[in-house]
Amino acid sequence: MNFKECFENNEVILMEGAVGERLKNEYNIYPDKQVALAGLIYREDIRPVLKKIYSQYVEIGLKYGYPVYIRIF
């Protein structure tokens, strides 16, 4: 299902929140000045943190029966 279909067919959609703020406040990880958060996926040491944060969003969606829309390129 694409985002448009998800949006049109659901009253509530859980999407990722302020991941950047969580990275800064909870893990002391800051965005790159040129590519912001995009470069973090290439860092082996940060991938587990990203997985943990996004998994929490998915778990919340499943717990409350909301669709979760996370676009992976």
Q: Which residues have CB under 8 Å from 66's CB, separation 6+? A: 10, 12, 13, 14, 60
Q: Indicate whether 51 belongs to any domain.
A: yes
- Regions of the chain where pLDDT drops below 50: none
Q: Indicate whether 45 belongs to any domain.
A: yes
The domain of 59 spans 3-64
Q: Which residues have CB under 8 Å from 1's CB, separation 6+? A: 9, 67
Q: Indicate whether 54 belongs to any domain.
A: yes
Q: Indicate whether 13 belongs to any domain.
A: yes
Domain count, the chain: 1
Q: Indicate whether 55 belongs to any domain.
A: yes
Q: Indicate whether 53 belongs to any domain.
A: yes
Q: Indicate whether 71 belongs to any domain.
A: no
